[in-house]
């Protein structure tokens, strides 16, 4: 995986997000994170819109849960907590499968040390 692949994915994800919004998977873990971090759904949208190449962790991964579009994993720090973010692009829609406090430390191959 190289930076251009991640850059292109993020550009398409954000363009779809800007035009059509984001669909979020209805998962207890995701909902609980909004409550635990005391953030709104709008704040979560803002976190996704600001993802960068440096936030990339892994992907594209095979999607066996929500269609066939590849899934990508990113991480972001929200209120001093590392948040695990798994996203995909469905036809004309941006989709967020996971947005929850990370269960384990994430690795960021493009983050400058």
pTM of the model: 0.94
- Per-10-residue mean pLDDT of the chain, 113 residues long, equals 93 94 93 95 95 97 80 96 95 90 96 74
Token pair 């695990």 in the structure block, residue: 84
User: What was the pLDDT predicted at 112?
Assistant: 78
Are 80 and 16 in contact by the 8 Å Cβ rule? The answer is no
Q: CA 38, 12, 28: angle at the middle one, nearest 5? A: 30
Share of residues in the chain with pLDDT > 70 (%): 98
User: What was the pLDDT predicted at 15?
Assistant: 94
Distance, CA of 82 to chain centre = 12
């Amino acid at each position: 995986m190289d930076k251009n692949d991640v850059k292109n994915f993020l550009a398409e994800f954000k363009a779809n997000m800007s035009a059509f919004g984001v669909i979020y998977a209805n998962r207890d873990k995701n909902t609980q994170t909004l409550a635990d971090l005391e953030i709104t759904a709008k704040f979560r949208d803002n976190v996704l819109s600001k993802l960068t190449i440096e936030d990339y962790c892994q992907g594209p991964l095979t999607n066996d849960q929500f269609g066939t579009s590849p899934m990508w994993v990113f991480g972001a720090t929200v209120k001093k907590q590392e948040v695990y973010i798994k996203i995909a692009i469905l036809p004309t829609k941006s989709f967020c499968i996971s947005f929850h406090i990370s269960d384990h430390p994430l690795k960021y191959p493009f983050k400058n040390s």
